[in-house]
Amino acid sequence: MAPLRAALVTRRRPAPLLGALLAATTACATAPHPVTAPTPAPTVRQADAGETFAGATPPTSDAKRAARPARAARNKAATDSVVPSHVHAPGVTFDLPVHDFESDERVRRYVSLFSGRDREDFTAQLERGTRYETMIRAKLRAAGVPEDMRYLALIESGYDPQATSRVQAVGMWQFMLGTARDVGLRVDWWVDERRDPVRSTDAAARNLRWLRSHFGSPFLAAAAYNGGETRVAKGLAQLAMDDSLRVSAARLDSMSQAIIAEMPNDTADAAEASTAVLQAPDDSAPIAPAPAEARSSADARFFALSSAGYLRSETKNYVPQLIAATLVAKEPARYGITVRSLPAYAYDSVRVPALTPLAAVASAADVSRAQLLELNPHLLRGLTPPGASTVVRVPVGRAAATARALDELPASERRAFRRLTTKKRESFDALSDRAGVPAAALLRRYNPGLDVVTHGKWKGRLVSGQPVRVPTRAVLDFSRDVPSYDDAPIAGLPMPAAPATRDTVAHVAHAAHAASGKKRDSTDDASAASPRKSTDRARAVATKAAKTAKAKEPNATGKKATPSKASPSKGSPSKASKSNPSKSNSSKSSTSKAGKA
């Protein structure tokens, strides 16, 4: 294009011929780039007979024309080796327009990858998906979403309900924490419904239905599902602006050519030169997206966005992966893949009381631990949440028998916790040994808020007298070691009543520390429950400290002074406090001073 424009600038031509050449040049410059019509995969060009690429004279035009049939045959063979011909098995239908884009370079690359190097992993994930296929297709169909969108779960997680990404997206449909709660999923310390294939599929179907109605295309909906609807919406707005600018530039160029055609030769040459300079293409600039008329299909707009650079690299490859996975998964035999079908994901439900161990439900249903956890992957802590009864899934046909057997279980098998109380100066390791439960499980999972001494000799030791939940071995066996996304709901778990008195030195110090402005905890409540005992002990400690300090302090004569009864030392109770016990008991300052002493 640039040499042609240079020739127009430097050479004088008659006005009619000049107008024709400029019109042809303008048509070439404004021709849309075929970003939405997928092109065959690039093949490595081989040297034909009599043709070399470096250090030799290029072949003549006649030689090139003679070599064209051979190159065309090689290109067709390479294409046929990657993607089979467009003939599909009887009875196989597609509800996504995948065939309109199966010749796209990236689609072909992923088809080759899924049926070649990654064949084993892809086959294993397809087999896992057969367990959930019936359920997923029914829910997508009910939501008005194309059933082939089920292969998004294949791309996202390989149909693994426990999959967790490096950015903490969880579950078969890879929901982030905020998105999961926005679409109505429960995610807290007890339950993570992102791991539930049924509830997460319901949420994914609702989300995809909204995205498809918003963008008008399942491919744009898939791009928004991966990269966010805001990014896709901004890209579409920028693409529309580019189209408008392109149309305006084409109109201006057409008007300028009409004006030049009417000018005398000398004036036309000058105008032509200035026009060529203004319109000279920049080879380093990115290829502009095709105009709107070349992107009439809403599904093709994804490829326009991708070519224009308005999507992240991950999202650019996301839809081609979906198309390739759909092509291979729906006709695996064409690509030499054999997929075994697993039993469909089916279950019955039984409602059980709060804080029921899953081990008790498994015993009542006569199923293994693995079976019950596979049906209930969203229950995290080995028991049902507190506060209300919970529906637990059991194998088909066992709901009634499970409910009867659960009622007949002894109370010892239905108990989830036993209770301990922390001892004086007890460490976490000592408590763990006494409970017979690993410290991580005991503290992080079931007792995240235990108080410790914050200063002094016994800093870091547990404050005595605290109730501790000790889960039974059966509860621990059914619990999952997953991150705690929200510790607030653990407050609903019943705790044993606190002891009436706590008169250890550690508790007195801890109470004083809390009263000085630190975070208030259960120790303050215990001190308030027994004000006389804690205040008397604080008075005794403060008096003893004051006498010792006064005895060691020299007076003006160099002799040690003896404490005077008429002038109590700083830190000891005054006469007013002795004569008014109620006032002394209600004062926090004496307790605070005693703790400091």
Phi-psi region of 573 (alpha: psi -120 to 50; beta: other; left: phi over 0): beta
Q: How high is the pLDDT of residue 83?
A: 43
Q: What angle do CA 251, 254, 259 make, to 5 degrees?
A: 125
Lowest mean pLDDT among 250-264, 475-489, 579-593: 579-593
Cα separation, 460 vs 39, whole angstroms: 68
CA distance 594 to 513: 10
pLDDT for the residue numbered 258: 64
Q: For residues 345 and 196, is the Cβ–Cβ distance under 8 A?
A: no
Q: What tokens does 497 get? A: 């009543």
The model's pLDDT over 359-406, given as tens digits with 9 standing for 90+, comes to: 999 999 999 999 999 999 999 999 999 889 999 999 999 999 999 999
Integer Cα distance of 446 and 492 in angstroms: 12
Rounded average pLDDT over 536-560 = 58
Whole-number pLDDT of residue 334? 93
With 0-12 / 13-18 / 19 or more C-beta atoms within 10 angstroms meaning exposed / middle / buried, residue 26 is middle
Q: How confident is the model at residue 513 (pLDDT cuts 50, 70, 90)?
A: very low
> What local confidence, expressed as pLDDT, does residue 111 receive?
96
Please give the Cα distance from 113 to 101 (Å, whole number). Answer: 17
**Residue 485 one-letter amino acid:** Y
The whole-angstrom separation of Cα 265 and Cα 575 is 118
Query: What pLDDT, on a 0 to 100 scale, did the predictor assign at position 266?
Result: 57
pLDDT of residue 538: 54
What are the pLDDT digits (tens) for 276-322? 443 434 444 443 433 333 334 788 899 999 988 899 999 999 999 99
Residue 438: predicted pLDDT: 82
Question: What integer pLDDT is reported at residue 297 of this predicted model?
Answer: 74
Most confident stretch, 54-68, 146-160, 580-594: 146-160
Highest mean pLDDT among 69-78, 296-305, 444-453, 472-481: 472-481
Q: So what's the pLDDT on residue 520? A: 42
pLDDT tens string 191-212: 999 999 999 999 999 999 999 9
Cα first-last separation, the chain: 91
Residue 575 buriedness (CB in 10 A; 0-12 / 13-18 / 19+): exposed
For a pLDDT cut of 70, what percent of the chain falls above it?
56
Tens digits of residue pLDDT in 423-456: 988 888 888 889 888 876 677 668 877 888 888 8
pLDDT at 543: 67
Average pLDDT over residues 119-132: 97
Q: What is the pLDDT of residue 284?
A: 42
Contact 8, 26 (CB under 8 A): no
Read off the DSSP letter of residue 443.
Answer: I
Contact call for residues 203 and 186 (beta carbons, < 8 A): no
Tens digit of each residue's pLDDT (9 = 90 or more) over 210-231: 999 999 999 999 999 999 999 9
Most confident of 206-210, 251-255, 471-475, 481-485: 206-210
Looking at the predicted structure, is the pLDDT value of residue 510 above 80? no
Mean pLDDT value of segment 325-351: 95
**Mean per-residue pLDDT for 12-22?**
38
Q: In whole angstroms, what is the distance from residue 526 CA to residue 210 CA?
A: 54
> pTM of the predicted model, to two decimals?
0.62
Distance (Å, whole) CA 276 – CA 1? 11
List b or e across 134-158, with b for residues whose CB sees 16 or more CB atoms inside 10 angstroms.
Answer: ebbbebbeebebbbbbbbbbbbbbb
Contact of 451 with 523, CB cutoff 8 Å: yes
